[in-house]
Amino acid sequence: MSKTYFIVVMAILAVFSINGCSNKVKTAEADKETEEYTAEENTKMAPAPVLSDDIYSFQLKLNGKVYQFPMKYTEFAANGWVYDGDESEHLDSGYIAGTRVFAKEELEVYADIINFDINAKPRSECYIAGISVDNYQLDKAGASAGTAKGIKIGKSTAAEIRAAYGTPGYENTDDSGFTSIEYHIGMYQSIKFSIDSESKKLSKIQIQNYAEPEDFIPGEVSAEVPEAVGRYEAPDAVSNEFADFTVNYSGALYRLPAPVSVFEANGWKIVEGSSDMQAAGCSYGWVTLMKDNQTLKVIANNYSEQATSIRNCFVIKVKSDEFDAKVPITIAKGITIGMSQADLETILSEDGYEKDDSSTLYVIYTVTPVENTLDRYTIAVRKANSKVCKIEMEYTPQYSTFLN
């Protein structure tokens, strides 16, 4: 699963309010041979780069040593840098641990640790994808730092930077006179120079390059069934409590989130052409399920640190409507398609709800039984006949909550 730009996904994860699995016990072990191969690869040292004249080589010359980003954590550490944290702590697939302190004798820098792999990895098996160094730390340690064409912290001016690299992609001077000059070729591929307002000299360099290296070898998708899937239990009946997120859907009982494999066992089939057939560790994939000519296209979360088949991921939403998912559904307190608006409001009055009457066609009722407002029930009543015509139920517990 190669990506040209490695943007944390993380942004998408935030949309669905789910946290990573970092700091959790591994639920599946990678194939031993693959682990040994990965360990062997991580110990190989790439040839030391030579300082290029190209600003987009994303290089920094620090105390005579040239660093090119991204670079393997092991290579960075082999140059004497010590992480001020637990390097055995797992970093989820697609995640970035930014502004982490590394020290080499008296010198401290900030670096970004990124996991390009489809599986969670110890930070020591990830990459350093960015670095920040400033004049204060350099002076304190008696060190030096700079980039291509002789640009050096504490010596170069803004005019010299522009002369060396041309017109920047972004430049800004704040109210205090502090100037930022940035060159970039992507959202997370940039070199930023900060000019001190008093000395007029370069005071800080920040480099980010979150592009996946061309020679990166991703891990394998685990063939094991994750622990979370193995311990899933369907309910015996639909609960009267909305907070339990139980449902009778197309004739089978589920408690959301529920494994895709359970839906398959109940007669649903994965439409492979419009589904992600695997998902990275602590991430998600889209899956389209079909049964009796009805389709359900939803997000399925992988509640495991290891990449796995979409079958081992968890469906977080079910719905029934008049269009693509016209299937029988019953949720808490017996609410179902075709129920009268009067009966619905009587039932919902016991728990509380929000009502939106702004549409010309529908009245929308929303029930949010837990703290996260994205975990909810949405019920639509058609105004023309005052009957329930759509029910949608969604529950996306945080990874840490769901796994405990």
Integer Cα distance of 112 and 96 in angstroms: 7
Q: Do 177 and 280 belong together in one domain?
A: no
Integer Cα distance of 140 and 135 in angstroms: 8
Q: What is the pLDDT of residue 323?
A: 85
CA distances from 235 to 28, 151, 231, 254, 330 (A): 26, 65, 13, 6, 13
Q: What is the pLDDT of residue 246?
A: 98
Q: What is the pLDDT of residue 37?
A: 32
Q: Do 80 and 181 belong together in one domain?
A: yes
Q: Do 187 and 44 belong together in one domain?
A: yes
341 lies in a domain? yes
Q: Do 264 and 130 belong together in one domain?
A: no
Q: Do 174 and 312 belong together in one domain?
A: no
The DSSP element (H or E) to which 191 belongs, if any, is strand 189-195
DSSP string for residues in 219-230: -PPP-SPPHHHH
Q: Please say which residue of 209, 240, 258 terminates a domain.
A: 209
Q: What is the pLDDT of residue 404?
A: 65
Integer Cα distance of 172 and 197 in angstroms: 12
Q: What is the pLDDT of residue 24?
A: 32
24 lies in a domain? no
Integer Cα distance of 11 and 65 in angstroms: 34
Q: Do 261 and 201 belong together in one domain?
A: no
Integer Cα distance of 16 and 128 in angstroms: 27
Q: Structure tokens of 231?
A: 């311990």
Q: Do 170 and 243 belong together in one domain?
A: no
Q: How many CB atoms lie within 10 A of CB 215?
A: 7
Q: Do 197 and 284 belong together in one domain?
A: no
| Residue range 328-371, pLDDT digits in tens | 999 999 999 999 999 999 999 988 999 999 999 999 999 999 99
Q: Please say which residue of 141, 175, 209 terminates a domain.
A: 209
Q: Do 111 and 254 belong together in one domain?
A: no
Integer Cα distance of 96 and 100 in angstroms: 10
| Residue range 383-402, pLDDT digits in tens | 999 999 999 999 999 887 78
DSSP string for residues in 137-153: HHHHHT--EEEGGGEET
Residue numbers in the chain where pLDDT is lower than 70? 1-48, 404
Q: Is 106 helix (H, G, I), strand (E, B) or coil?
A: coil
Q: Is the pTM of this model over 0.85?
A: no
Q: What is the pLDDT of residue 46?
A: 57
- Give me the number of domains the chain comprises: 2
Range of the domain at 38: 31-209
Phi and psi at 57, nearest 5°, equal -80, -10
Alpha helices per DSSP H over 181-333: 227-230, 260-265
Q: Do 281 and 155 belong together in one domain?
A: no
Q: What is the pLDDT of residue 259?
A: 98
Q: Structure tokens of 311?
A: 């079958």
Residue pointed to by tokens 């399920």: 289
Q: Do 187 and 259 belong together in one domain?
A: no
